[in-house]
Amino acid sequence: MKIYRVKVNGKLYEVELEEVENHPKKHISTKQKDTAGPSPHSRDGEDIKAPMQGTIQKIIAKENQTVKKGDTLCILEAMKMENEVTSDKDGTIAAVLIDEEDTVDAGDVLFKVN
């Protein structure tokens, strides 16, 4: 634990913070920022993006899998509700850019579809 002094609107506060090393949730950027090899964003294909902020509960689609428009690609949990993320078009999954338990923001790229 570390104690910090913080001044807010002229008033001094002491704040005690604990450093957490192994946070159970990881953010999507851990996979997208992988520097060993080509960037996932450089792969060809149309982006399938997260419609809202949430946690990836289950990945259904795999790389090189053929999908049709409307097929469920993954389950995204947001506000205690399970939401299906579906394909916008017919094609083949070129890249899966997420892992189960990743937290994502609205607009994050989840899949690439050719």
The residues near 65 (Cβ < 8 Å, ≥ 6 apart) are 92, 93
pLDDT tens digits, one per residue of 31-88: 444 434 444 444 567 899 999 999 999 999 999 999 999 999 999 999 889 999 999 9
pLDDT bin (cut points 50, 70, 90) of residue 97 is very high
More confident call, 32 vs 14 = 14
The CATH number given to whatever domain includes residue 102 is: 2.40.50.100
Q: Report yes or no on 69 lying in a domain.
A: yes
Residue labelled with tokens 């002229």: 10
Q: Report yes or no on 6 lying in a domain.
A: no
Q: Report yes or no on 8 lying in a domain.
A: no
Residue-level pLDDT at 30: 41
Query: Could you list the residue range(s) of the whole structural domain that residue 74 is in?
Result: 25-113
Task: Count the alpha carbons within 13 Å of 41 in the hemisphere toward its beta carbon.
Answer: 10
Write down the pTM of the prediction: 0.63
101 vs 65: CA distance, rounded Å: 21
44 vs 85: CA distance, rounded Å: 20
Per the structure, the count of domains in the chain is 1
* Nearest partner of 97 among 39, 51, 58, judged by Cα: 39
Length of the chain: 114
